[in-house]
Each structure stands twice: as C-alpha cells, then as structure tokens.
C-alpha cells in the first residue's frame, strides 16, 4: 500500500501546489490590475487558489501519515497517533519540512483571502514557491555525490515547471477575454520557463544518470519518457507562438492547445513525482556517502591539500547559486540588449562590473575557494569576504535597479500600474525605507558576523546544504544592501548625506576590526566540531586554521570598506562641485537678467534681521 500511496500522494500534492502557483501567477502577472488593485476577474479566480491550497494541505497531512506508517512499518491507523505524528514533525528533517508546508499553506490561505492588491498575491506566490522547493533540499538528491548540482538543478527545475504549468493552468481558468489580453505576456514568460525546465531537467538527469547503465533502469526509463514529453510540449509551445503571432482565429484554437499542453504537462508532473519517490541507480564505483564522511556532509569527496593551482582550477558546481547566477546574467544581458535595440546606451563599465561580480561569486561558491571552504575555516572566510565584501560592490556599481526601471514593461492599459510601476512602488515602500536605513544596513552587514560566528549557528548551518546556501545568500544580500546604501548609484528611497555615509563606513571598519580581533583571540573552535568531523589530512591544526581565517577576514574586509570610503569622498566632492557650478550658473543667469542672485538675496535678508525686521515666514 505504501509503495502505491507514496508516489500517489506526492503527485496529488504536486498537482495541488502547482495549481495554487498557477492561479496566483495568473492573478499576479497575467490578469490586468488596476493601479495595483485586483480586478473583478482576479477576485473571482483567486478563490481557486484557496481551494488548491486546501488540497495541498490535505495531501501534506496525508503524506505525513503515509511516511510515518512507512517508517514505522505500521498500519495507517497506528501511524495516525498524535504523539507519534508530533514527534515525527518536530524531530525529523522530513517531518520539519512537512510542518513548514502546513504553516506556509495556512499563511498562504490567509494572504489570498485578505488580498486586495497584487502585492499580497506576490507574497502568496513567493511563499507557495518556497514551500514547493524547500523539501527538495531533503530529496534523495541530497545523498548523491555532487549533490550541490543535483539539488540546485532540481530546485530550478521544479520552480520553472511550476511557473510554466502554472501559467497554462491560469490561462485555462480565466475568461476568454482575459485570456486574449494576457496570452502575449504568458507566451513570453513561458519561453523562459521552458528553457529553464529543459536545461535543469537535463542537468538533473546528468547529475543522477551520468553513467550508461543507469539508463537501463526504471528510473532511466522514466527520465527518457520525460524528455519525450518535454519535446512534445516544445512543439505545442511553438504552435502557440505561431497562433499568437498570426492571430489565427484566436480563442478556440488557443484553448485547445492549452488543454493539450496541460494534459501533457500533468503526465510529466506525475512522472516527476514518481521519480522523486524512487531511488536513482547508483553508478558503479561511486563512493557511497556512508563510506566517506566528506561526501555525506558536503556532497564533495575530500580534496587533497590546497595549492594555488587547485584553488584556481578546482570546480564543483553549487547548482542553486550557479542557477541564480545564470538567471541574473541572462536577465542583465536581456536588459542591455533591449536598451541597445531601442537605441539607448548603457555604460559598458556597469556591464563589466556585473560580469566581474558574477565570476567572483561563482569562484567563491563552485570554484576552488567554494570547494575548499567546505573543508577549512580559512577558505570559508576567504569565500565569505568575496561574497560579502567584494562581489556586492560590483553588483551595486552595475546599477541593476536602473536597468530594470529602464526595461521593465509599463502598464498594458492606462489603469494598469504594470511591472515597472510595481518595482517603483516596492522601492518607495515602507519596507524599503526601513531596510535602507544606514543603521539597519550596518547591523545586517557587521552585526550578523557576531550572530553567526559567536553562536552555535555557524556549526549548524555548515552541516546542511540549505544552511550553507542560506549563509552564502545572506553574505551577498547583506553586502549588497550595505554598499547600495553607502555608494549605490541606483535610485534609493532615502537621501543619505555624505557625512552620514562616511561615519557609517568608519563604524563598519571598527566593528569589523573588533570582530576580527575577537576571532583571532579565540581559544576554542567555533564550528561545533564540523571541520573536525571531516577528518582532513592537511592543515590539521584546526584552531590555527581558524586564526588564519580571522586574519584573512580582517585584511580582506578592511580593503573594500576603505575603497568605499574613497569612493564616497569622491562622490561628495563631485556633488559639491556640481552644486557650486549650479549656484554659479544661477548667479550668472541672475546677473545677466539684472536680478539679485540667491546669495545677494540671502545677505539682504540677514541684514534685515540684523536691523530687527521680522523674519520672513516662507
Ligand atoms: C528535458 C526534459 C526533462 C528532464 C530530463 C527531467 C528530469 C527530471 C529529473 C531527473 C527529476 C528529478 C527526480 C528526482 O528527484 O530524482 C525531475 C523531477 C521533476 N520533473 Fe522533470 N524533467 C524534464 C521535464 C519536465 C517537465 C516538462 C515537467 C512538467 C511539466 C517536469 C516535472 C517534474 C517534476 C514535477 C519533478 C518532481 C519534483 C519533486 O521532486 O517533487 N519535468 N525531472
């Protein structure tokens, strides 16, 4: 029963959560909104997302009972026991994921029911997609060698599948008139999703079946069927685009194509769910994770002692970060190409800054520094400094927000705020004003160092793939926010005086120096035994390696802050000289017109005050 029920419940869960994504996606991105408010049509179909979320919750609860019965080898009635279920949900990683699903599901229902603006729908969509991808960190991909690639590819695969199939489900559910108006946007986004599904699917298959005999298994056969289904979907997709381009009798043809597409997709999803509950074949000669603690913990075999060559040329792809880098690079290039096509220019320096930062992040996560960071604190700190201090400066100077504002689509009708309008609303939202406060940015930038390394958190996060990923993404975002607030060239909801920026930079330097000295004077290990449990045969003195990391962090941390200080001074001088020129030009203009300039008027006002005249109420 369990062998039948597990894939079945998994498939029902996938269908329900993908439908919820689909409806939210249609309401958030396909249907027209009115100045950010939901239209009548959106109000109508958003209830379908509530229904799908309820089914998602029910299948999650069902899945828990089947998993507990499976683990205990007991019947479902025995498994359906409160204390057993609560201990499963709170003490096992899979159980905690299911609990996370339930909490997210309930939160999404509340968000959708109360939603009146598209902003709330975006939150509900993001929460649903997060609930969809989080369990993938625990999927059997996690036990395979190169699990960084396997997990990353699967996350992008499932996220893109959800947007692709979600869009189709959304279009099938909305009215023919709304479908006509939003099909062009669906088609544009579906193309991106299909490309990502195909690429990540092939990478997922490669990560699990990169040996010929693996294809002679049931798992291999299922993957082959999926490739066939994907090719059929590509053909249907091409027909879609042709029908749209040629406006061939519109409604009915499109609707038939959509129905066929969603049927093929649902079969592909069913097979995908089946795959995810079946164990992939093991490649001959693969080192079993249980025989190598390094593979069990990091997904990478223990490397030999580091050398300059090995740091420069080692590579073990972290699929999630690599996927994110490929996605933002594709979007950045797409933006620059759009501008060029419009005849607008984009400073090449910005594109170069972007490219350098992307390469640095890849080097610090999948490249040599990223590989050795799993095995030695000193390399971890080197990676941290690249991700938190150096790469963010390039991203800030590449002005991604300005590029987005210049290329994102405007409203499709006079009433519609449009994606560009939504970004402007986000930049000027209460949340952005709070997060761009220099104190908040500094607290996230430097404060989190103490929270991470001076508590057991670091050791905990190093032991899981999702924890490691969370740390890397936090370093990047905290660094980006800090340098965006201090030396950013993109629009900022706050006007921060240069003197304040300089004070914050000096504060950042001293806090960072204080942190490094505290780290240098540690006499015990901070990693909760993580590096020790890897039994590496090089740099075996773990404490001295920790101190090397502290020294590296200090040295590498101060340099970017110093550079930002110089940049802020230069910016300040430039603004001042621009202001001086403006005042001079105004004075010249006033003089030419025979009028008093500002200065003369102000001096006259001061003289009046001196003579005891009442101050002007401006
Ligand atoms: C090039 C074509 C494709 C290939 C090579 C491919 C390959 C894979 C692989 C290897 C997995 C991982 C299974 C595991 O966890 O072991 C997977 C999962 C999955 N795939 Fe695909 N896939 C392809 C296309 C599609 C399409 C077109 C869809 C749906 C429209 C789809 C939906 C899914 C789903 C829902 C999962 C399961 C996610 C889960 O773990 O819950 N795939 N796919």
Residue 446 and residue 546 in one domain: yes
Looking at the DSSP bridge assignments, the partners of residue 34 are 37
pTM: 0.88
Integer Cα distance of 430 and 117 in angstroms: 16
Residue 593 lies inside a defined structural domain of this protein: no
Question: According to the model, what pLDDT value does residue 144 have?
Answer: 54
Q: Which two tokens stand for residue 594?
A: 């025979």
Contacts of 352 (CB under 8 A, 6+ apart): none
Contacts of 472 (CB under 8 A, 6+ apart): 318, 321, 364, 365, 383, 387
Residue 410 lies inside a defined structural domain of this protein: yes
Integer Cα distance of 36 and 429 in angstroms: 13
Residue 148 and residue 128 in one domain: no
Question: According to the model, what pLDDT value does residue 246 have?
Answer: 61
Among residues 123, 138, 153, the one where a domain terminates is: 138
E-strand ranges in 353-474 read none
Give the torsion sign (CA, 482, 486, 489, 495).
Answer: positive
Judge residue 215's burial from the number of C-beta atoms within 10 Å of its C-beta, 0-12 exposed, 13-18 middle, 19 or more buried.
middle
Q: Please check whether residue 546 is in contact with residue 522, taking contact to mean a CB–CB distance below 8 angstroms.
A: yes
Integer Cα distance of 315 and 607 in angstroms: 73
Integer Cα distance of 572 and 501 in angstroms: 10
Residue 435 lies inside a defined structural domain of this protein: yes
pLDDT averaged over 10-residue windows placed end to end, the chain, 618 residues = 79 90 90 86 90 93 86 78 86 87 94 92 93 80 68 92 89 84 85 92 86 84 90 85 63 76 86 80 66 79 93 93 95 95 93 97 96 96 95 95 92 86 91 94 94 93 90 96 94 91 93 94 92 88 94 89 86 84 84 75 81 67
417-429: b (≥16 Cβ within 10 Å) or e: bbbbbbbebebee
Task: Tell me which residues have their CB closer than 6 angstroms to ligand 1.
Answer: 14, 136, 139, 141, 154, 157-158, 161, 165, 197-198, 201-202, 204-205, 208, 223, 226-227, 229-230, 233, 265, 268-269, 272-273, 275-276, 280
Residue 286 and residue 362 in one domain: no
CA atoms within 13 A on the CB side of 215: 9
Q: Please check whether residue 117 is in contact with residue 35, taking contact to mean a CB–CB distance below 8 angstroms.
A: no
Judge residue 566's burial from the number of C-beta atoms within 10 Å of its C-beta, 0-12 exposed, 13-18 middle, 19 or more buried.
exposed
Q: Position of tokens 């971890």?
A: 380
Q: Which atom of ligand 1 is nearest to the CA of 275?
A: 13
Residue 442 and residue 569 in one domain: yes
Integer Cα distance of 455 and 448 in angstroms: 11
Residue 446 lies inside a defined structural domain of this protein: yes
Among residues 138, 163, 185, the one where a domain terminates is: 138
CA of 272 relative to ligand 1 center, distance in Å: 4
Domain count, the chain: 3
Residue 596 lies inside a defined structural domain of this protein: no
Residue 227 and residue 122 in one domain: no
- Among 331, 332, 394, 398, residue whose Cα is nearest residue 364: 394
Domain membership of residue 515 as a residue range: 334-585
Integer Cα distance of 429 and 419 in angstroms: 15
Residue 188 and residue 118 in one domain: no
Q: By alpha-carbon position, which residue is closest to atom 41 of ligand 1?
A: 273
Residue 133 and residue 149 in one domain: no
Residue 226 and residue 273 in one domain: yes
Q: Which two tokens stand for residue 105?
A: 């599901």
Q: Which two tokens stand for residue 241?
A: 């685009």
Residue 386 and residue 460 in one domain: yes
3-state SS, 379-421, equals HHHHHHHHHHHHHHHHHHHCCHHHHHHHHCCCCCCCCCCHHHH
Q: Which atom of ligand 1 is nearest to the CA of 194?
A: 27
153-172: b (≥16 Cβ within 10 Å) or e: bbbbbbbbbbbbbbbbbbbe
Residue 72 lies inside a defined structural domain of this protein: yes
Residue 150 and residue 130 in one domain: no
Q: By alpha-carbon position, which residue is closest to atom 19 of ligand 1?
A: 272
Q: Please check whether residue 421 is in contact with residue 118, taking contact to mean a CB–CB distance below 8 angstroms.
A: no
Q: What string of DSSP letters covers 345-386? A: ---HHHHHHHHHHHHHHHHHHTSHHHHHHTT-HHHHHHHHHI
Question: According to the model, what pLDDT value does residue 314 have?
Answer: 94
92-121: b (≥16 Cβ within 10 Å) or e: bebbbbbbbbbebbebbbebbeebebbbbb
CA of 13 relative to ligand 1 center, distance in Å: 15
Among residues 79, 107, 138, the one where a domain terminates is: 138
Residue 590 lies inside a defined structural domain of this protein: no
Question: What does the DSSP 8-state code read for residue 175?
Answer: -
Query: What's the angle, vertex CA 590, arms to CA 585 and CA 593, rounded to 5?
Result: 125
CA of 275 relative to ligand 1 center, distance in Å: 8
Q: How far is residue 421 CA from its own chain's centroid? A: 21
Contacts of 557 (CB under 8 A, 6+ apart): 385, 389, 512, 516
Residue 401 and residue 434 in one domain: yes
Q: Please check whether residue 349 is in contact with residue 375, taking contact to mean a CB–CB distance below 8 angstroms.
A: no
CA of 65 relative to ligand 1 center, distance in Å: 25
Residue 134 and residue 148 in one domain: no
Q: Which atom of ligand 1 is nearest to the CA of 280?
A: 16
Question: According to the model, what pLDDT value does residue 289 have?
Answer: 57
Residue 618 lies inside a defined structural domain of this protein: no
H helix or E strand, kind and range, residue 22? helix 2-25
Looking at the DSSP bridge assignments, the partners of residue 37 are 34, 117
């Amino acid at each position: 029963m369990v062998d039948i029920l597990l894939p079945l419940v998994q498939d029902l869960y996938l269908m329900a959560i993908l439908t919820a994504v689909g409806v939210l996606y249609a309401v958030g991105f396909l249907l027209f909104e009115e100045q950010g408010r939901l239209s009548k049509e959106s109000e109508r179909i958003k209830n379908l997302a509530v229904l799908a979320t309820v089914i998602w919750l029910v299948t999650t609860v069902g899945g828990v009972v089947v998993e507990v019965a499976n683990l205990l080898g007991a019947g479902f009635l025995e498994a359906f026991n409160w204390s057993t279920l609560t201990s499963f949900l709170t003490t096992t990683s899979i159980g905690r994921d299911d609990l996370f699903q339930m909490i997210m599901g309930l939160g999404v229902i509340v968000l959708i029911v109360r939603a009146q603006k598209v902003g709330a729908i975006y939150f509900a969509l993001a929460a649903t997609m997060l609930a969809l991808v989080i369990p993938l960190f625990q999927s059997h991909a996690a036990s395979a060698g190169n699990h960084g690639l396997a997990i990353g590819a699967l996350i992008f695969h499932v996220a893109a599948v959800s947007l692709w199939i979600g869009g189709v489900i959304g279009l099938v559910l909305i009215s023919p008139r709304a479908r006509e108006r939003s099909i062009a946007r669906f088609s544009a986004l579906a193309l991106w999703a299909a490309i990502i599904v195909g690429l990540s699917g092939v990478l997922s298959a490669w990560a699990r079946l990169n040996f010929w005999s693996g294809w002679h298994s049931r798992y291999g056969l299922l993957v082959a069927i999926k490739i066939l289904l994907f090719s059929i979907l590509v053909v249907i997709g091409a027909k879609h685009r042709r029908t749209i381009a040629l406006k061939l009798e519109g409604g009915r043809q499109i609707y038939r194509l959509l129905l066929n597409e969603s049927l093929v997709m649902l079969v592909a999803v069913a097979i995908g769910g089946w795959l995810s509950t079946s164990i992939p074949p093991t490649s001959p000669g693969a080192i079993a994770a249980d025989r190598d603690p390094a593979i069990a913990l990091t997904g990478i075999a223990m490397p030999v002692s580091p050398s300059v060559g090995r740091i420069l040329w080692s590579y073990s792809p972290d699929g999630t970060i690599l996927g994110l880098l490929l996605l933002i690079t594709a979007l950045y290039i797409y933006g620059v190409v759009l501008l060029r096509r419009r005849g607008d220019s984009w400073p090449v320096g910005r594109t170069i800054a972007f490219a350098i930062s992307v390469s640095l992040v890849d080097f610090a996560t999948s490249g040599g520094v990223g590989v050795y960071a799993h095995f030695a604190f000193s390399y971890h700190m080197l990676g941290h400094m690249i991700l938190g201090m150096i790469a963010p400066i390039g991203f800030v100077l590449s002005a991604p927000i300005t590029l987005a504002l210049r290329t994102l689509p405007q409203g499709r009708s006079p009433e519609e705020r449009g994606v560009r309008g939504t970004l402007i609303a986000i930049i000027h939202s209460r949340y952005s004003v709070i997060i761009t406060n220099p104190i908040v940015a500094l607290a996230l930038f430097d404060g989190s160092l103490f929270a991470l390394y001076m508590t057991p958190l670091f050791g905990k996060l190093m032991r899981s793939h999702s924890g490691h990923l969370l740390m890397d993404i936090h370093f990047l975002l905290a660094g980006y926010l800090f340098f965006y607030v201090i030396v950013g060239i993109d629009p900022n909801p706050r006007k921060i005086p240069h003197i304040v920026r300089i004070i914050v930079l000096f504060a950042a330097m001293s806090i960072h120096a204080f942190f490094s000295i505290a780290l240098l004077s540690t006499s015990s290990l901070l990693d909760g035994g993580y590096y020790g449990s890897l039994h590496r045969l090089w740099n075996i003195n773990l404490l001295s390696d920790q101190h090397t990391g502290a020294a590296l962090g200090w040295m590498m941390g101060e340099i970017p802050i110093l550079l930002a200080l110089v940049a802020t001074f230069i910016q300040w001088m430039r603004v001042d000289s621009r202001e001086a020129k403006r005042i001079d030009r105004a004075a010249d203009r006033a003089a030419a017109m025979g009028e008093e300039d500002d200065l003369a008027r102000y001096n006259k006002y001061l003289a009046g005050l001196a003579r005891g005249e009442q101050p002007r109420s401006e």
